Chains A and B, each alone.
Chain A
Amino acid sequence: MNIDLKGRKAIVTGSTAGIGRATAEGLAQAGASVVISGRGNARVDEAVRQIRQAFPGSEVAGVAADLATVEGVESFIARTPDADILVNNVGTAHIRDYTGIEDIAKIPDEDWLGLFQLNVMSGVRMTRHSICRAW
């Protein structure tokens, strides 16, 4: 079975490392043009360089944005072409370092809300844009 995504445009959020990076690489290998994302220009640029080097001929671009904010998502969407494939990968399980139950109890509301903004709302906002485009 040969997965051929030539002609498809893909966006993978949170893709300078980890599952997102592996997904972006796999999509590029399958022929898709891929936009990767991360918060900082340096990490995004380096990831793009490494992927292009590992997979010569692949179409990979990068956009730096904080997808945990409305402004970040709007900025990202403004700079990325519409896509056929959207992988809402960005997220984290790390709030802060803690060593016990007492520390967990001290995690402030803003940290929990920050997790929600990144892990849930980034996907909602990105998908909302894609849905409006598709239909």
Chain B
Amino acid sequence: MAKQAEASGITQEEAEQGFLKAMRPTTLIQRFATTDEVASMIIYACSEQASATTGAALRVDGGVVRFVA
């Protein structure tokens, strides 16, 4: 994204917003998820608190996919 921003003469934030608008128009959080946000789900899934969560596909996608199945 940084390379694309530099090539286009825009800021990285502008490049990210352009990407989200064009390629992820359904995003509810209107930004990229952070590495910590993704890691938090992974760590929760590793914990005893997630003992009844197994064989599940858990999303950390900012609400991009607009259905719950």
Residues of A with Cβ closer than 8 Å to B?
1, 3-5, 8, 10, 18-19, 21-23, 25-27, 30, 32, 85, 87
**Residue of B38, B42, B43, B44 contacting most chain A CB atoms (<10 Å):** B43
Kindly list chain A residues whose C-beta atoms are within 8 Å of the C-beta of B44: 3
Interface of B is mostly: helix
Interface hub of B42, B46, B48 (most chain A Cβ within 10 A): B46
| Inter-chain contacts of B51 with A (CB < 8 A) | none
Of chain B, the residue at the smallest CB distance from A12 is B42
Task: Looking at the assembled complex, report how far the CB atom of B56 sits from the nearest CB atom of chain A, in whole angstroms.
Answer: 16
Q: Are B46 and A22 in contact (CB under 8 A)?
A: no
Interface size class of B (residues with CB under 8 A): 10 to 19
Q: Chain B residues near A1: list those with CB within 8 A.
A: 49
Does the CB pair B46–A21 fall under 8 Å? no
Q: In the bound complex, how far is the Cα of B39 from the Cα of A21, in angstroms?
A: 9
Please state if A19 and B47 are interface contacts (CB–CB under 8 Å).
no
Q: Given A3, A10, A19, A85, which contacts B35 in the complex, CB threshold below 8 Å? A: A19
**Interface status of B11 (Cβ within 8 A of chain A):** no
- Contacting B42 at CB < 8 Å: which of A4, A8, A87? A87
Min CB distance, A112 to chain B, in Å? 22
